[in-house]
Structure 1
Amino acid sequence: MSSTKIPLVIWVMAVAAGLGAANLHYSQPLLPSIASSLHVSLADVGWLPALTQLGFALGIFFLLPLSDLLERRRLIVSLLLLASAALLIQGYAATPAWLLAGGFLLGLWGVVPQLLTPFAALLAPAGRAGQASGLVLSGVLSGVLLSKVLAGWVASASGWRTLYFVASIVMLLLAAYLRWVLPQSRHHERQSYRKLLKSSINMTRQLPALRRHTLKGAITFALFMAFWATYAIWLQQQFGYGPNIAGLFGLAGMAGAGAASLAGRAIDRGQFRHTQLLSGALMLSGFILLFAAEKSLVFMVIGLLLLDGGAGLSHSANQNAAFTLDLAARGRINSIYMCGYFVGGSLGTLLATRLFLLWGWYAVCSFGVVLALIMIATEWLRPHSKTPSAIISR
């Protein structure tokens, strides 16, 4: 394995992570179409993104620690098969109840991208762990954003159900391919599942730096989802745009994917604080520009570029910095961090959707500005520093 190049298997993992992550975000530009198809109100299906994220948070907490217990390749393949089944439930759903149940299960079993991120760091050459995990995270963010483009295109051409059927087949094919290309990998120290969960809870108590990274991650994803949970509804109400146009906004968000890789390299060089402050400033600027989106969609595109670029920087910086706190427990650290991250996204979705229904687009933008200021303040007032645990682990 070369010390100067990222192995091909990690690039494969990045693509797989993107395909897996896309499943969790197909619904966002489709909410108006789904509501119309099921003959229900937007309020009846508006819970779908939040329930998917809640299921994902629970899956992260209860399933992700298994990467420190079970053989990683087998765990990844098994979860892809379950995700395929959940996608079928959504595709066949005839009522909002079945749709929401499928969305929750999809989130619960959709943790494969988060298994691949620390796995990539484990397989990376010496000194390239941050770059490798950042590359996989770039794949995740690319999948999240391109999912909106794909969802809008497929829904316009063949209907939203076709999207879920095709995604189910893709997960089956991906499971077979990863079973072939991924190496076997098992944690050297075997522990019981109960001890792993207890260890995760104790790790949260003992590592204040981990709590801070998790809080910042939660705020970051709440900011991210405040926009993505409401933008398709706003575009339809304000301009009459359907899912095909709404989906195209995923292309404007590709800034976050490239930013994630840059953040991984910055963490390898010990530049966390600068990265965090920059990400907060980008997200704040993005939401300020989004106030003017009602006058021109140009402001919306530029604001989205800034918002997603900042979110990618913040998420990758916090996740990679968290990994350094205990190199032998990346799976559990990722479980704690990503659980908080998606709880933040779920709360951000619920609050932003409620604010939009009550007071409109300006309320959502104000919510985003407040969260961005909190993000900047948490780092400005109390800069990041290494804990003794981090130093020992190194």
Structure 2
Amino acid sequence: MSGFYTFHAHYGRGPVINPVPASRERRGALEHRSPIEAKSVFRRARLRQRVVDGPPRAIPDALWDELFEAMTCDRDRALLLFYVTSGARASELLGVRTGDLDWAGMRFYVVTKGTRLRQAVPASPQAFRYLARYLDDEGVPAADEPLWRTRRGEPRAMSYWAMRRVLQRANEVLGTNWTLHDARHTAAHFRDLLKQASNAADGDIIMVNGSSYQRLWSRVDERRIRLGGPANIRVQDLETGKHINLIHVEDAAFGEWAIVEVLRHSGVRIEEALELTHLSIRQYQRPNGEVIALLVVAPSKSDRERVIPMSAELFAVVAAIIRRHTTGGQIIPLLSRLRRGARPPSGRRRALPLLGRPRGVRLRPAHHGR
């Protein structure tokens, strides 16, 4: 309102004195400042209403499923997943080029708005999976070309207004008004939820951006604690009544990423990948002292083992899997492998599969010798 009266007073229209004067203290407080500085307090100008600081909007789980289903192509699904799981700004994500992708690390590089520095931003394996489907259909652009391109007419870099129109079409179908900024708040929402739920006790109410969750606890969790293991982090959405196991969600995301990356970088079959153990990792030292990491693959259609030199990307994936199995100084346990209908043998055990049995991954190895 102050700017409205100032604009008309400049052209000689309206009252001579601005009835809603601007506050110098407010103008100084809204200037660019470091985010680590304390938020300054200032007095409101005359005739200005008190503005209540409400929680930022985040997309609830049920409405998120509807919004994701309203996307009409893999490009839009990938973009939406990148926005929600990375929390990147709209302009930052749309400015990503093909050379900014780090498939092994499940991250991409953006030039931040404030510092103008090139920083890495992690995203979910599901987002990278839909990105791979999009690139498989539309083709992979050069390393210095924009990653996100239009689908109509001559391919060109996707603008903010084009992505905004994608959400507008989905909102028209669903009768909602979601924005790209809401997707950014949704990413921060689930990070805060996992952090607060990890420190909450049974029955505690957790408030995250205006949404209420209740920490759940069961006898199984108590037993896991008594045996020295970690308890599941489960919450209930008090608005929808949905139970969310945050540990299972995180495990499923890691398992999907691990199996896809191993298959992509090694070229082995599914049944061969699921037969990999920590004993499949070998090394060879050349006379000049150079060490080469090797992956020994058990045969699935022949009687001879194969030895694959691991690339830097494959080695990074394998190292991440081993770190996950050995978190907290744990030792990789042994596992009995049985045929269908066979009884457990006494004293015969074998190494744990490298990929383990991640939740959410439903790949099954072929059964031989049946």
Q: TM-score, normalised by structure 1?
A: 0.26
Kindly indicate whether structure 1 or structure 2 has the higher relative contact order, using CA contacts under 8 Å at least 6 residues apart: 1
Max Rg structure? 2
